[in-house]
Amino acid sequence: MSKMQRDFLNDAKEAEAAPPPALTNSFSAVDGDCPEKKSLSDNEPKLVASSPGSTEDSSIFDSTTDDLSEVTSVDFTISEKSSTDFIVIETSKCTVEPKENDSESLEDGESIKKDSSESGEIVKPEKVQKMVRLQSNENMSDNVNLPKAMSLKPCPSVGTSLEIYDYVMRSNGGGGENNGAAMMEEAWERLKKSYVYFKGKPVGTFAAMDPMAEALNYNQVFVRDFVPTGLACLMRDPAEPEIVKNFLLKTLHLQGWEKRIDNFTLGEGVMPASFKVLSNSHQQKETLIADFGGSAIGRVAPVDSGFWWIILLRSYTKCTGDYTLAERPEVQRGMKLILNLCLSDGFDTFPTLLCADGCSMIDRRMGIYGYPIEIQALFYFALRCARQMLKPERDGKELIERIDKRITALSYHIQKYYWLDFTQLNNIYRYKTEEYSHTAVNKFNVIPDSIPDWVFDFMPLRGGYLIGNVSPARMDFRWFLVGNCIAILSSLATPAQATAIMDLIEERWEDLIGEMPLKISYPALEGHEWRIGTGYDPKNTRWSYHNGGSWPVLLWLLAAASIKTGRPQIAKRAIELVEQRLSKDGWPEYYDGKTGRYVGKQARKYQTWSIAGYLVAKMMVENPSNLLMISLEEDKKIAKPKLTRSASF
Ligand code: GLC
């Protein structure tokens, strides 16, 4: 039996889903992108090298990023080999010729893009003036190691042979370039339709607009779900920041509500998981209803909402150059309240944040209680974004000092104790236990027998990742995509670790990307572990939903991380996969099966963040300077732990 047949049978066993739709050649001949917007090109390798981290990201208004204020299109080229940590991308600048009275916006050097539509001026490409510094990997393999098997596969039920399929793909421009333009158009249209209005203004997007499924709470605006939509609106050329601003202010307003669950009042800073607009057509009145966890399955407050809110506020400021929003007293207060929740003194011996299961994107019990990497990475990201936006007035100075200390402690802890690669795995495998005193090597008294068998096979010689959770006598070795990508974007992961994470994705492409990008977690909990880890959750059966399911929304995170690490090919290949099916399948929320072949058992169709995630990924690949809206440079001031080096360093 061939590997492909075996895979198919495995998948068929794993997921009890409807057979995949017939594969038809439906790539339409739609015009490509506009000529001003040059796509990434791999044809002419060239590199301008700069020393690693030669500038610091101490402010959103820093000199490195100011340079990018006018970049709207990027000629992206990469060298074959470099010994430096960073690639410099040469950019073609598109400038809008200034009108006499246009000086205000042109002087404003901090915004990333200019809105050319209002002035109606012609956009002219100008030659290389600005540079985007992105991290490169040491050996710049850029996918040389991707196994052949990961190339696009035919759908077995159609009976198409790989050769014919490859031919079809080639004659359609290599897997969806044409399809891509049509899909972008469709995606924008659908995104617009999902807007939620309050008093005539767009304030967010529905989570999903599936006409065939019960709405449940998918007719609400989820804070975390809105982030890719917000980014898409900011990255669009010209940008559409209005909805983002309205969303930030509306959710801030909701934060001010008194939050009670039974007789207990939640912390002031808690941001809602979601909200909805109730319209009373008789009284012509609209009211807002918010959920802070009181209605959520499991009654867990969303720890990630506040962090995403701060991160999006920084993206908005970075894109528009409108600092007045972040500087408003109520916005400063909102940030402080969120941070106070996390920086208060307690019994902690770790700088990480102790969380209940289900407090983030994985909002059901999945054995991620404790110190999950997703929350720790978002916490770090939010701390660094807030650090740039908080004003040192009044109690601000003291808070900034606390933030600085926490940033240092948190990055040390994560980089040292969450990091796993071949060498580190071998160290843990040989750990002694029951060590006492501060000299202990096995600090958390992890019993080597608790290392699951799969990790030994999964761990490549080249590559590594931040594991899911670290706490006393417990290391959750599972891979979680969000935490790892956010660690790259926030520079919580060192440049070497970021490179190794992308190496791992390449080396384990079949497992982590498969047929539909991309796995939220790996591997799935099965049998006894599933019973204990999820509490017999029928929605989270193996290789489904949060338990090893594949979520198209995560494409934007992968794209951002791969561009930041100088590996845009990874993003492009993942996008190609998405373009083959996502629109045809009706933009589902998630896919099931070991390789993500089947539309998820309970997946909503027309899931907004699947649509927005695709748009953001595309816009970042087309114009890598968009990355700056959602990425932070490494902070050189933060002390680095000494790490053992494995093949991936
Ligand atoms: C599911 C997801 C959650 C998301 C929500 C709305 O509950 O687990 O992360 O925010 O749907 O899309």
CA 93, CA 400: separation in Å to the nearest integer? 36
DSSP strands (E only) in 350-452: 419-421
- Give me the pLDDT at residue 283, please: 85
- Return the ligand 1 atom nearest residue 362 CA: 8
Q: Which helix or strand (DSSP H or E) is residue 6 part of? A: helix 3-14
For residues 422-444, give the mean pLDDT. 94
Which of 204, 197, 201, 246 shows the shortest CA–CA distance to 221?
204
Whether 204 has a pLDDT exceeding 90, the answer reads: yes
- CB-CB contact of 64 with 55 (8 Å): yes
How does DSSP assign 151-202, residue by residue?
A: S----GGGT--HHHHHHHHHHTTTTSHHHHHHHHHHHHHHHHHTEEEETTEE
- Ligand 1 nearest atom to the CA of residue 607, by list position: 12
Atom of ligand 1 nearest to the CA of 363: 8
95 three-class SS: strand
First to last CA, the chain: 38
How is residue 560 written in tokens?
């951002």
| pLDDT at residue 446 greater than cutoff 50 | yes
- What's the 369 CA to ligand 1 centre distance in angstroms? 17
Which residues, judged by CB distance below 6 Å to any ligand atom, belong to the binding site of ligand 1?
Answer: 207, 222, 224-225, 361, 363
Q: How far is the CA of 521 from the centre of ligand 1 (A)?
A: 15
In the predicted model, what is the mean pLDDT of the chain? 79
Q: How far is the CA of 163 from the centre of ligand 1 (A)?
A: 39
* Tokens 């843990």, residue located: 428
The CA 219 to ligand 1 mean position distance, Å, reads 11
CA 414 to CA 484: how far, in whole Å? 11
User: Left (φ > 0), alpha (ψ -120 to 50) or beta: where does 313 sit?
Assistant: alpha
Tokens of 8: 């198919």
Percent of the chain with pLDDT over 90: 67
Which of 206, 309, 361, 544 is the best mutation target for the ligand 1 pocket, counting ligand atoms within 8 Å of the beta carbon and taking the most?
361
What are the structure tokens assigned to 256, written together? Answer: 């001010």
Predicted pLDDT of residue 643: 61
Cβ proximity of 628 and 564 under 8 Å: no
Shortest-distance Cα residue to atom 4 of ligand 1: 361
More confidently predicted of 219 and 151: 219
Q: How far is the CA of 361 from the centre of ligand 1 (A)?
A: 6
Helix axes 329-343, 303-320, angle to 10 degrees: 140
Q: 199: left (phi > 0), else alpha (psi -120 to 50), else beta?
A: left
Q: How confident is the model at residue 216 (pLDDT cuts 50, 70, 90)?
A: confident
What is the CA(326)–ligand 1 centre distance, in A?
A: 27
Q: Which of 13-27, 497-511, 525-539, 601-615 has the lowest mean pLDDT?
A: 13-27
Going by pLDDT thresholds of 50, 70 and 90, the confidence category of residue 461 is: very high
- Return the ligand 1 atom nearest residue 360 CA: 9
Q: Supply the pLDDT for residue 640.
A: 72
pLDDT band at 637 (very low <50, low <70, confident <90, very high): confident
Ligand 1, from 216, 218, 225, 609: best to mutate by most atoms within 8 Å of Cβ?
A: 225
Distance in Å, CA 267 to ligand 1 centroid: 22
Q: Give the position, in ligand 1's atom list, of the atom nearest the Cα of 546.
A: 8
- Looking at residue 144, its pLDDT comes to 33
73 confidence band (pLDDT: 50, 70, 90): very low
Separation between Cα atoms, residue 109 and residue 66, nearest integer Å: 6
Atom of ligand 1 lying closest to residue 589 CA: 12
Residue nearest to atom 12 of ligand 1 (CA): 207
- Please report the pLDDT score of residue 282 as a whole number: 86
Ligand 1 centroid to Cα of residue 131, in Å, is 37
- Atom number, ligand 1, closest to the C-alpha of residue 545: 8
Q: Which atom of ligand 1 is nearest to the CA of 220?
A: 6
Which residue in 254, 298, 262, 314 sits closest to 489, CA to CA?
A: 314
> Following CA atoms 600, 604, 609, 611 in sequence, which dihedral angle do they give, to the nearest 10 degrees?
90
The pairing of strands 591-592 and 521-522 is unpaired
Q: Cβ(307)–Cβ(360) under 8 Å?
A: no
Burial class (CB in 10 A: 0-12, 13-18, 19+), 287: exposed
For ligand 1, atom 3, the nearest C-alpha belongs to 361
Q: What's the alpha-carbon Rg for the chain, to the nearest Å?
A: 24
pLDDT tens for residues 371-387?
A: 999 999 999 999 999 99
SS3 431: coil
Dihedral sign of CA atoms 598, 600, 604, 606 in order: negative
Residues in the chain: 649
CA–CA distance, 228 with 296 (Å, rounded to integer): 22
In order, the DSSP letters of 233-298 are HHHSSS--THHHHHHHHHHHHHHTS--EETTEEPPTTPPPSEEEEEEETTTTEEEEEEESSSSSTT
Q: How far apart are CA 163 and CA 127, in angstroms?
A: 42
* Helices 555-564, 481-489: crossing angle, 10 deg rounding: 40
Distance 218 CA to ligand 1 centre (A): 8
Q: How far is the CA of 315 from the centre of ligand 1 (A)?
A: 22
pTM of the prediction? 0.77
Tell me the CA–centroid distance for residue 539 and ligand 1, in Å: 13
Q: Can you tell me the distance from the alpha carbon of 206 to that of 229, in angstroms, rounded to the nearest whole number?
A: 10
Q: Within 493-581, where are the H helices?
A: 495-507, 509-512, 527-534, 555-564, 568-581
358 pLDDT above the threshold of 80: yes
pLDDT at residue 113 tops 80: no
Mean pLDDT of 321-347: 97
Classified as helix, coil or strand, 494 is coil
Q: CB within 8 A of 434, min separation 6: which ones?
A: 445
| Number of separate helices (H) and strands (E) present in the chain | 22, 20
Q: Which residues of 103-129 are buried (b: 16+ CB within 10 A; e: fewer)?
A: eeeeeeebbbbbebeebeeebeeeeee
pLDDT higher than 90, residue 30: no
Q: Which of 275, 305, 363 to mutate to test the pocket of ligand 1 (most atoms within 8 A of CB)?
A: 363
Which residue owns the Cα nearest ligand 1 atom 9? 361
- How far, in Å, CA of 278 to CA of 258, rounded? 19
Q: Which atom of ligand 1 is nearest to the CA of 222?
A: 10
Yes or no: say if 599 and 585 are a contact pair by the CB < 8 Å rule.
yes
- Is 593 in contact with 5 (CB distance < 8 Å)? no
Q: How far is CA 620 from CA 568, 587, 615, in A?
A: 10, 20, 9
At 135, the pLDDT band (50, 70, 90 cuts) reads: low
The alpha carbon of 580 and the centre of ligand 1 are apart by a number of angstroms equal to: 24
List all residues 6 or more positions away from 229 whose beta carbon is below 8 Å from its beta carbon: 191, 194, 204, 205, 243, 608, 609, 612
Q: Return the ligand 1 atom nearest residue 297 CA.
A: 7
Chain centroid, CA 215 distance in Å = 25
Residue pLDDT, tens place only, 300-315: 999 999 999 999 999 9
Residues 6+ apart with CB under 8 A from 243: 195, 202, 203, 204, 229, 230, 233
Task: Quote the ligand 1 centre to 29 CA distance (angstroms).
Answer: 35
What is the whole-number distance in angstroms between the Cα of residue 217 and the centre of ligand 1? Answer: 9
Tokens found for residue 644: 């053992």
Nearest CA to ligand 1 atom 6: 207
